[in-house]
Structure 1
Amino acid sequence: MGIVSRLKLMSFMQYFIWGSWLVTLGSYMINTLDFSGANVGMVYSSKGLAAIVMPGIMGIIADKWLRAERAYMLCHLVCAGALLWATTVTDPDTMFWVMLINAMAYMPTISLSNSVSYACLAQAGQDPATAFPPIRVFGTLGFICAMWAVSLTGLELSRAQLYIASGASLLLAVYALTLPHIPVAGKRTATSFASKLGLDAFVLFKNGRMAVFFLFAMMLGAVLQITNVFGNPFLHDFASHPEFADSFVVTYPSILLSVSQMAEVGFILTIPFFLKRFGIKTVMLMSMLAWTLRFGFFAFGDPSPLGFILLLMSMLAYGCAFDFFNISGSVFVEQEVDPAIRASAQGLFMTMVNGVGAWVGSILSGMAVDYFSVDGVKDWQTIWLVFAAYALALAVIFALCFKYQHEPEKLAQHSLAG
């Protein structure tokens, strides 16, 4: 098997693990363990906390002392153990700490998998910039396959989803032992702890436009976490309506949600056109408006024929909402910052989105769900409309506060230089 095929398999397994539980664990905790919305938000906040510091710490270790593929293997061994432990947990506090251990090990593997892929491709004489995107697509496919597997086997409300994730983590840890050796870089000033965490880039907050950008990056990170945590429990709750109890939406909610990931693949292909034609500010506004539609369609969707169309439209809106923000935001950072702090700026962007934003979004969304619940019955329509209003407010404020003039020539020059 060639190196590209082996890396595709690694990418598939990397995100298969996440897809096994990320979307469905909330439903398991709410419906099977009887956790409150705040409890679920607290457990999911562990991902954000881990994303703030762990990728930087593990990145330094992999750069200086331990080969990247070995660090990758050890992280997945820890994940396998933590996910197995989680199958025995029935109280919110313990679940938080167990999933925090899992997140502290898993979040670094996202960047490590990229590093391993880039290094292996370079060793094989291939251009990582050209060869990596098709490899990463297999990660999305792995995520989708895991969601379908858990849903089709009826395990969305069962701890068995954690057994699947644990077994896949163990299998990937073993597989990592077969990957080519990635030599450590030794002494290298660009891999300081401050740089890995994006601390060098904090000087960008002196620039008003960049400060506004990073603030909105954090708030959009919170929006993303809301849909990750409560999308699946929302669909499961239609089971309380007798006319919907046996519907496709209730029986296979993860399959419906997987359309969101399918939409991502399509919208990724449109981003170059929209960036060149309209510019980064407009593309990010499209993302915020797409988040508004995502939640708005959820508010009025249900398993009835017309309601199902609205739910499906919500999944399609997610592809635009997710891709247009994450990729356009990364491009903006790449364009605007000094090359000397480019890596730190990208680190800061990811920390604001997947770290601080995810943590804030988990906690506040859980509190909001509980606030609009009476005797355990959630007023999902109001909940989603509140989230939709939040996303719409972000779009309006962003349009007023973010000062940016689209310059197609600058974008074209940047693309040629890259």
Structure 2
Amino acid sequence: MNIKFRLTLLSFLQFFVWGAWLTTLGTYGFGIKKWSGEEFGIVFMTLGIASIFMPAIIGMIADRWINAEKIYGILHILYGITLVFLAKTDNPTTFFWILLFAMFFYMPTISLSNSLSYTILKNNNYDVVKVFPPIRVWGTIGFIAAMWITNIFSDNLSPLNFGVEAGEKLASITGNIINANQFYIASFVAIILGIYSFTMPKCPPQNVNSNSSLFEKLGLNAFSLFKDYKMALFFAFSMLLGAALQLTNMYADTFLKDFKNIAEYANSTVVQYSTMIVSISQISETLFILTIPFFLKKFGIKKVMLMSMVAWVIRFGFFSFGSPDGFGLLLIILSNIVYGMAFDFFNISGSLFVETSTDSKIRSSAQGLFMMMTNGFGAISGSYLSGVIISKFFTDVAGVKDWHGIWLTFAIYALIITVLFGIMFKHKHNPEAIGNVSH
């Protein structure tokens, strides 16, 4: 079977098992469980906590001791098993601990899937910068497919017999945990992915020189990247942008759902099909991913990252003034479209920048560090601080949230990051280096 097709299927399933529940977790926490902003922020911190050390640790193991495709498969099987227990959990504290373990298994697979794809493509003499984005775009398609299945068809795929949208409505009457279906869907596909990964081409660890120090044998030399000013600054801004990404994951679907509290919008398309509306963001990703090789070669990593940051400002700003009808609806749609540039030009380009800027012996570890800063420290700060800020400053005594103020605050945050990055990050663009990444 064609190796590009096999990696495409891997990418599709990798993000399907995340998209099945990630964007609807806000509705699950706020709508079904009635958690406070602080409680939900703490639950969402699990992604960040796991990303602080697990991707780096797993990257070191893949660099030194165990084939990348094997550890990748094991992690997905364990992730799938854990999600079954998550679906049966009601208590928020118990939910936190089980989700934390699920994230211990899943979060390392994001950077590991990149390393796996890069290694297999290079071993087959492909140009990574040109070939990887069209493969990675199917990960986004997988994410979209999972969102739609969760939104529409989960009633036929779970013993609970209700979809997420229908479940939310029924839960308001019965108090039942209906949309746990999303976890069952993700669990089943994750186990299938784990088994499939064992059939991938072998990606053995790099041989460790017998004269290497213990520091090198453990793979900790990847942390030496922080000694380089440019790389350290890149990782620092990765953390700050990781917080911005987390805000979108946590609140976009909940924001649209909350229009039901306004009588004239209660039955609007935006409220009834909020998950599908949000999925426009992922559809946009599929288009922007394909433009990355051109933009990286033409403008370089700094300008591409700046484009991403400006897009985050627009994303949050448009949400701030959005509504389910007229010009407000147009702003919501445009916000979801611009998300593609905001996410891809940061995440995918950042991963390729790390790939082209590090030694081959520590690349899995370096990808783990990138994940640690974005989905680790960035996610934790974004999850916790946003939860506290929303609860204290943008939620009234009746529990109604001031979404205009929330998104405007996030837009100002992204603008500050953009200005600082433009001033502080120095990088000389070399088109030939980008073009020769496969060598």
User: TM range, normalised to the smaller chain?
Assistant: 0.7 to 0.9
Give the C-alpha shift of residue 370 in structure 1.
Answer: 1.2
Cα 1:69/1:395, change in 2 over 3 Å: closer
Q: Contact 1:26–1:233 at 8 Å: present in 2 too? A: yes
Q: Match of 2:164, SS?
A: coil
Within 2, Cα distance between the matches of 1:49 and 1:197? Answer: 22
In structure 2, relative to structure 1, the CA distance for the partners of 1:363 and 1:197 (3 Å cut) is farther
Do the aligned partners of residues 306 and 43 (structure 1) sit closer, same or farther apart at CA in structure 2, a change above 3 Å counting? same
Quote the residue 1:45 is aligned against.
45
Q: 2:164 aligns with which of 132, 148, 155?
A: 155
Q: Which residue of 1 aligns with 2:407?
A: 384
2: CA distance between counterparts of 1:335 and 1:186? 17
Normalised by the length of structure 2, the TM-score is: 0.83
CA offset digits 1:351-379 (Å, max 9, x no partner): 21121111111111111221211121111
Gaps of 5+ in 2: 154-162, 169-178
Distance 1:402 1:240 in 2: 44
Identity, % of aligned positions: 47
1:113-168 CA distance string (max 9 Å, x none) = 34444565577x46373654433222111111001111224415411111111121
CA drift of 1:213 comes to 3.3
Does the Cα contact within 8 Å between 2:63 and 2:365 map onto a contact in 1? no
Report the TM-score, using the length of structure 1 for normalisation.
0.87
Q: For residues 307-361 of structure 1, what are the alpha-carbon distances to aligned partners after superposition, in whole Å with 9 as ceiling and x for unaligned?
A: 1110011011111111222344445556666888776555433321121111111
Q: 1:197 Cα shift? A: 8.2
* Alignment correspondent of 2:54: 54
Asked whether the 8 Å contact 1:197–1:351 carries over to 2, the reply is no
Structure 2: how far apart are the matches of 1:391 and 1:253? Answer: 24
Matched residue type, 1:399 = G
Structure 1 residues without counterparts, runs of 5 or longer: none
Equivalence for 2:144 = 144
1:365 aligns with 2:386: yes
Could you say what the CA RMSD is over the residues aligned between the two structures, in angstroms? 2.9
Is 1:310 matched with 2:331?
Answer: yes
Equivalent runs, 1:330-341 vs 2, <5 Å: 330=351, 333=354
Cα 1:202–1:343 shift into 2, 3 Å: farther
Question: 1:156-195 residue pairs with structure 2 within 5 A?
Answer: 156=165, 157=168, 158-177=179-198, 179-180=199-200, 182=202, 184-185=204-205, 187-188=207-208, 192=216, 195=219
Matching residue of 1:412? 432
Match of 1:252 among 273, 289, 292: 273
Separation (CA, whole Å) in 2 of partners of 1:109 and 1:2: 22
CA distance in 1, matches of 2:206, 2:232: 34
Show the 5 A alignment for 1:197-276. Answer: 198-204=222-228, 207=229, 209-276=230-297
Question: Deviation at 1:269?
Answer: 3.4
Q: Is the 8 Å Cα contact of residues 296 and 434 (structure 2) preserved in structure 1?
A: no
Q: Distance in 1 between matches of 2:190 and 2:367?
A: 27
Q: Aligned pair 1:293/2:314, yes or no?
A: yes
CA–CA separation in structure 1 for the residues paired with 2:127 and 2:435 = 16
Tell me: CA distance 1:343–1:61, structure 2 relative to 1, closer, same or farther (3 Å): closer
Change (3 A) 1:324 1:96: same
